[in-house]
Structure 1
Amino acid sequence: MAVSSSPILSPFRMKITATEFVSPSSTLPRINFCNNRRQSPAVVLASKSEKESWSEAKRVLMEQYGFNPDESLSPEPSPNGKRKKKLKESGRGVEITPKEPKAARTTHKLLTVLGGKARRMKLLSPKGMDVRPMMEVVKGAAFDILQAAGGCPASLRPGRWLDLYSGTGSVGIEAISRGCSEVHFVEMDPWVVSDVLRPNLEWTGFLDMSVIHTVRVEKFMERAQKLAGKEPFDYISVTPPYMEVDYAVLMDQISSSDLVGEDSFIVVEYPLRTDMLDSCGCLVKITDRRFGRTHLAIYGPKWAQKKKKKEKSLRGAAVEI
């Protein structure tokens, strides 16, 4: 005996008639798909799982009624799909974002030559903190001490100057302006050399008395004899970026090199909480002054130290008179 239900309108606009057979061997409903235009082919799904059978049946029905099963049955894209793809392409599990281009480096004229032939001439220096020139008050004090220790308060003793970590070149230019015959500038930054140091030398007219070494100071020290000759320098200025050098190692390297002679002077700018030795090779510390957070140490021959003490005693006697 069979009981027929009324026709049901499906979403595909086809009539579905469900006939339930009351039979001891079957308890599941049977569904007949009817199409007015053509008869649907029979689909036999015997060896597949229930989920696969249902998925394939849906594809067949949608193709018969003009739908694209690939579009309708495709899973919705995950909101994190694009991010996962980027992470996979990066190769390290971290999304790589393009770096913003660095701003163009610019210069301004804030430095001044304090004495000598080029006095009051303005010098270029980079904007920002890429290069930190020696403060003018420190530079002025250093040259006053050197001139007094050398026995010629009006100018420097003629000789060669080595400007390590030269940057803008303001120290070496000051040395030429006050009487040095030749200065070797050691600066590793090509942009600083081409856009700051060389223009400053051309502007002051000291390019012919200068030698520029675009190399790291450590490399220059290793090849000093080949790059600067075997003769020691009369003056050496050391003005490195404070946090990027080990002063103990640097000063030991300088004192043990052939760059230093018995009559050489060494000017060192260093920060607070840095221990500087009382001697540098054969040289003794002539002075050690503080300018805010900056310290200035000057090493020289023993005769310069005695001459400085003698000058102090003479000044004291003149005050008493």
Structure 2
Amino acid sequence: MSSMTGRAPGRIRIIGGQLRNSRLDVPDLPGLRPTAERVRETLFNWLAPVISGARCLDLCAGTGALGIEALSRGAAGVQFVERDARAAQALRDNLARLKAQGGQVTTADAMAYLQGAPQPFGLVFLDPPFAQNLWQPLSQRLEQGGWLTPAACVYVESPRQAGLALPSTWMLHREGTAGEVGYALYRRAAAT
């Protein structure tokens, strides 16, 4: 993983499932911050009971490592949303090279994408660029816009001390830290 202000490494590894040990080419783009291997390993251990057959949304996909890891581990499909055209093309190239089935890449701003017609997802990866502070508006749009199934899981990655204001229906399931990064898995509960 690169620093929050540095550049991404040239390649990262898928750590589990059918594509285990496959390498993803990572474009050299400012601010691109792939999720660290040990964080992905922990996250997918948490998700083991729900990943098979899941419909996933990788919002602010970047390298697509989270979504490709989900496909590798049996997710039914992943919608990748990435606003940077170069990162989106690198993601398409990686999916094609790995012959990963079930991934669809949309080049769009995350908030603009969530203004479209909703398709409920059972698992969402929410890891926006740290400098843009998009957690609250994106999480509210996910919750209120019909983008989540009733029992959806949402993974959130942020600066360690961010103090995020997330929807009250998102119940913390598990959390951890890695260096200056905080990560957490939430489960959606019915609104009261």
More divergent stretch after superposition (282-291 vs 115-124): 282-291
Any stretches of 5+ residues in structure 1 without a counterpart?
A: 1-106, 151-155, 303-321
Give me the whole-angstrom Cα distance separating, in 2, the residues matched to 1:159 and 1:128: 30
Correspondence for 2:133 among 220, 245, 248: 245
Q: Greater RCO between the two (CA within 8 Å, min separation 6)? A: 2
Large movers: runs of 4+ above 6 Å:
none
The answer on whether the counterparts of 1:139 and 1:171 sit within 8 Å (CA) in structure 2 is: yes
TM-score, normalisation: structure 1: 0.53
2:4 corresponds to which residue?
none
Give me the whole-angstrom Cα distance separating, in 1, the residues matched to 2:58 and 2:136: 19
Q: 1:112 to 1:258 in 2, by over 3 A?
A: same
For 2:171, the aligned partner's letter is V
Give me the whole-angstrom Cα distance separating, in 1, the residues matched to 2:19 and 2:177: 27
TM-score, normalisation: structure 2: 0.86
Give me the whole-angstrom Cα distance separating, in 1, the residues matched to 2:134 and 2:147: 19
Count of residue pairs the alignment pairs up: 182
Give me the whole-angstrom Cα distance separating, in 1, the residues matched to 2:109 and 2:188: 28
Give me the whole-angstrom Cα distance separating, in 2, the residues matched to 1:167 and 1:283: 24
Correspondence for 1:235 among 123, 126, 133: 123
Alpha carbon RMSD of aligned pairs, Å? 1.9
Map residues 236-275 of structure 1 onto 2, 5 A cutoff.
236-275=124-163
The answer on whether the counterparts of 1:280 and 1:299 sit within 8 Å (CA) in structure 2 is: no
The answer on whether the counterparts of 2:27 and 2:86 sit within 8 Å (CA) in structure 1 is: no
Structure with greater proportional helix content? 1
Correspondence for 2:16 among 115, 120, 137: 115
Give me the whole-angstrom Cα distance separating, in 1, the residues matched to 2:52 and 2:167: 21
Any stretches of 5+ residues in structure 2 without a counterpart?
A: 1-7
Cα deviation for residue 109 of structure 1 reads: 4.2
Cα deviation for residue 110 of structure 1 reads: 2.2
The reply on whether 1:133 has 2:34 as its aligned counterpart is: yes
Cα deviation for residue 250 of structure 1 reads: 2.6
Deviations 1:196-227 (A, max 9, x none): 11111012111x412111110010010042xx
